[in-house]
Every structure is written in C-alpha cells, then in structure tokens.
Amino acid sequence: MILLDWIQGALLLAGLGFFLVGTLGLLRFPDVYTRVHALTKADNLGLGLVVFGLLIGADSVPVALKMLLIWGLALLASATAGYLVARAARRRGVRPWKARNWEND
C-alpha cells in the first residue's frame, strides 16, 4: 500500500509541476500564440497527471469514470478556447513574435 501512496504523490507533484510551468509560460512568453500553446499543453498534461494520481485513491468505478470524464471535457474545452483565442488574435492582426536576427545587425 505504501508504494501506491508514493506513486500517487509523485503523479500529483508532477501534475503540479506542469501547472506551474504552464503558468510560467503564460507570464514569460512573448506573444499570444506561444502563451496559448504553453497553457493548453502544460495544463492539459498537468490535469491528466493529477487525475491519474487521484484515480489511484478512487473509492469506486463511477467516481473514477467521473474524473476521467472531467479530464476529457477539460481537454476539449482547453483546445476549443485556445483555438478561439488564437483565431481572434489573428483576425485582429496580431503578428507572431519573431526572434531578432543578431547576424544581420
């Protein structure tokens, strides 16, 4: 039983780590497109790890299925919201960030 507790803790901490990395990406990346990418990828993986960590301690199969359903709906909502934000930015004329070319200066 102690091994399952360690695995559950590791999954929860890894999920928390991905949430923190996604938040850091939101704060540090230069444009809306890279920020949306960081949030959708890191937060979806973080939520998946948290859900799998919680599945280990689930009391019953219906509870586990509800957690998986919540994760699936969050994946769908995140992808849809990311697409809509990027599309709105493109329609408003927001150009993607380009790295400065230091060789031509």
Is there a domain that residue 63 lies in? Answer: yes
Does 104 fall in a domain? no
| Residue 101 lies inside a defined structural domain of this protein | no
- pLDDT in the model for residue 28: 92
pLDDT recorded at residue 104: 56
For residue 92, what pLDDT is reported?
94
One-letter amino acid at 53 equals G
- Closest Cα to residue 1, out of 57, 55, 50, 51? 57
**Contact (CB, 8 A) for 15 and 49:** yes
Within-domain flag for 99: no
- How much is the CA Rg of the chain, to the nearest whole Å? 18
Whether 11 and 50 have beta carbons less than 8 Å apart is answered as yes
User: How far, in Å, CA of 22 to CA of 48, rounded?
Assistant: 14
Count how many domains the chain has: 1
102 in any annotated domain: no
Indicate the pLDDT class of residue 102, thresholds 50, 70 and 90: low
Given a cut of 90, is residue 46 above it in pLDDT? yes
Domain presence at residue 16: yes
- The tens digit of pLDDT for each residue in 19-37 reads 999 999 889 998 999 999 9
Q: Is residue 103 part of a domain?
A: no
Domain assignment present for residue 29? The answer is: yes
pLDDT tens figures, 56-100: 989 999 999 999 999 999 999 999 999 999 999 999 998 888 876
For residue 39, what are the domain limits?
A: 2-94
CA distance 71 to 37: 18
Whether the model pTM is above 0.75: yes
